[in-house]
Amino acid sequence: MAPHRSTKQNRHSRNAKARRRRVVGLSCTAGAFLAFGLIPLVTAPRAHADMEDVIVQPVIDAIAQAVNVMDPGLASSFDPGLDAGSLAAPALAAAAAANASIPLQMFNTTSPLVDLSVSGGPNIPVLVDTGSLGLVVPWYDLGLQGLENLGSPIGSNIGGYGGNIDFFYLEFPETVNFGGGIVTSPTTVDIPLFAWPASLSNGSLSGLFNLDNWSFQAYEAQNGADGVLGIGPNAAGPGDSSVITALPGDLNEGVLVNETGGYLEFGPNPLPALGSVGGAPITNLDVSVNGGGIVPVSATIDSGGLYGTIPSSILIGGPPVGQPEPSGTVITVYESNGQEIYSYTTNATDLQGPTITSDNQMNTGYIPFKAYPVYISYSPSGVGTTVFDY
């Protein structure tokens, strides 16, 4: 697993400009490629287009063809105009509790996973990722029921993770079911249709032979997941919103990620707070390495960031860029007011050191989530607050 860690250390460190979502128009020819899972040789122009005429019908036809291959009897009942809201009606009609929780499990120490279903499809494991925004689930994981209930796409874009993988996706207004009656109203779900190494988007051939970067499924399998539940309100994408904000009642106020307790809890913060910082996941922190001076850094508090990254600019005599901090390194992180949030000493097992980067951005990785329950508040809107609980 070491090579997978090294390829994903910086999965959310692309700057906002590089990760800005781009509208892409598809022709009917491109729709044919989607039906067979192939990548077109000619890149579609990155410009705004009339979605209904240019992309919607070809893609619906392509998905219907794919459904017909899996189950010929299903295609005849495929209804692109199905009202997805009807699926949520029973749950939304009930009075929403102030808080509700679902089980959370850890994969390979660093990856928090929960199960959910989209549009009445089967339960699938998704990575709980504070470092990104938007629920991303491949269409082939929706199941026959989920595909049958799929409505019409409302948009399309290109997204990516960490400079490793890019993917073309459609946006659908669907319900998301977390189990136990915890169901959203129709909300945007991003459904990738095909993927490619992110380096190709920049005209480079590096990573061309890494097969994990040619498939969204293979890329996320490294985390034990089929999709990504991006819940960071001020993350740079790839989506526009968190599906948690579409939960009823108080459940949409925020979410507690309790990795040590083994659960994800929706609603107001249920625990006393040790401290908090403005922004989730992007914020400002102070860092000290091996008892040295405290240095302010721009940081991403990232449950999906594995072991994280740390800027070379705050290290003295440290390892070269691209290498992890060695075992025995003491890293202490503070709020900007001087309150210590967490401190740890790296080792060669569950507290592997963060990777050294040449930029000025820090990624916490999973470490603070190992230390405390972390609550992600959706207030203020579009920015959020990260709260470290007892």
Residue 337 lies in a domain: yes
Mean pLDDT along residues 299-305:
96
- Position 99 scores a pLDDT of 97
Q: Is residue 248 located within the same domain as residue 385?
A: no
Is the domain of 196 the same as that of 344? no
Domain holding 382, by residue range, is 274-389
Per-residue pLDDT band at 11 (split at 50, 70, 90)? very low
Q: Which two tokens stand for residue 279?
A: 């922004």
Distance CA(135)–CA(186), nearest Å, equals: 13
Q: What is the tens place of the pLDDT at every residue in 209-228?
A: 777 778 898 999 999 999 99
Of the three residues 266, 294, 315, the one that is the final residue of a domain is 266
The answer to whether residue 293 is domain-embedded is: yes
Q: How distant is the alpha carbon of residue 162 from its chain centre?
A: 11
Q: Does any domain span residue 85?
A: yes
Label residue 144 by pLDDT band (50, 70, 90). confident
Q: Find out whether 137 and 123 touch, Cβ atoms under 8 Å.
A: no
Overall average pLDDT of the 104-127 stretch:
96
DSSP string of 188-225, one letter each residue:
EEEEEEEEEEHHHHTT--TTTT-GGGG-HHHHHHTTT-
Top pLDDT among 350 and 262 is at 262
Q: And the tokens for 151?
A: 């409505």
pLDDT tens by residue, 326-372: 999 999 999 988 889 999 999 988 888 999 998 889 999 999 999 99
Q: Is 171 found in the same domain as 87?
A: yes
Whether the Cβ atoms of residue 354 and residue 365 lie closer than 8 Å to each other: yes
Domain boundary among 266, 296, 323: 266
Would strands 227-231 and 187-197 be described as parallel, antiparallel, or unpaired? Answer: unpaired
Token pair of 230, please? 């991006």
Considering the domain architecture, whether residues 234 and 359 belong to the same structural domain is answered as no
Would you place residue 1 in the very low, low, confident or very high pLDDT band (cuts 50, 70, 90)? very low
Q: Is residue 5 part of a domain?
A: no
Residue 116 in domain: yes
Structure confidence at residue 91 as a pLDDT band (50, 70, 90): very low
Q: Are residues 155 and 178 in the same domain?
A: yes
Secondary structure element (H or E) that encloses residue 258, with its range:
strand 254-258
Q: Is the pLDDT of residue 21 over 80?
A: no
CB 333 within 8 Å of CB 368: yes
Nearest CA among 283, 288, 326, 285 for reference residue 307:
326
Task: Please tell me the distance from the alpha carbon of residue 153 to that of residue 56, in angstroms, as a whole number.
Answer: 6
DSSP state of 265: E
Q: How many domains does the chain have?
A: 2
Same domain, residue pair 43 and 167: yes
> Which residue of the set 129, 141, 166, 286 is catalytic?
129
Whether this prediction's pTM lies above 0.75 is answered by yes
pLDDT at res. 61: 56
Rounded Cα distance, 125 and 115, in Å: 4
Percentage above 90 pLDDT, the chain: 57
| Residues 260 and 147 placed together within one structural domain of the fold | yes
Q: Which residues of 209-228 are buried (b: 16+ CB within 10 A; e: fewer)?
A: ebebbbbbbebbebbebbbb
Q: Is 2 a member of any domain?
A: no
- Lowest mean pLDDT: which of 130-139, 159-168, 376-385? 159-168
Measuring CA to CA, how many Å separate 190 from each of 108, 377, 385? Answer: 26, 22, 24
Task: Point out the domain boundary residue: 266, 284, 306.
Answer: 266
pLDDT tens readout for residues 68-87: 444 444 444 334 444 444 44
| Pairing, β 330-334 against β 340-345 | antiparallel
Q: Are residues 193 and 153 in the same domain?
A: yes
With tokens 């599906």, the residue in question is 243
- pLDDT single digits (tens) 158-191: 999 978 899 999 999 999 999 999 999 999 999 9
Active site residue 129: yes
The mean pLDDT value for 118-128 works out to 96
What is the pLDDT at residue 205? 66
Specify the pLDDT at position 69. Answer: 45
Local structure of residue 289 (DSSP, 8 states): E
One-letter amino acid of 118 = V
Predicted confidence (pLDDT) at residue 253 exceeds the cutoff of 90 = yes
pLDDT at 189: 97
**Whole-angstrom distance, CA of residue 269 vs CA of residue 377:** 8
Mark whether 239 and 340 lie in a shared domain. Answer: no
* Spatial contact of 372 and 389, defined as CB atoms under 8 Å apart: yes
Q: Percent of the chain having pLDDT more than 70?
A: 73
Looking at residue 363, the DSSP 8-state letter turns out to be E
Q: Of 101, 99, 105, which is closest to residue 259 (Cα–Cα)? A: 105
126 and 223, same domain (yes or no): yes
The mean pLDDT of 29-42, rounded to a whole number, is 32
Asked whether residue 160 falls in the same domain as residue 223, the answer is yes
Task: Write out the H or E segment, with its range, that includes residue 62.
Answer: helix 57-70
Residue 329 in domain: yes
- CATH number, position 151: 2.40.70.10
Is residue 4 domain-resident? no
Are 126 and 233 within one domain? Answer: yes
More confident residue, 144 or 171: 171
Residue 51 above 50 pLDDT?
A: no
What's residue 82's pLDDT? Answer: 40
Strand segments (E) across 51-204: 100-103, 105-107, 111-118, 124-129, 133-136, 155-161, 165-174, 176-177, 187-197
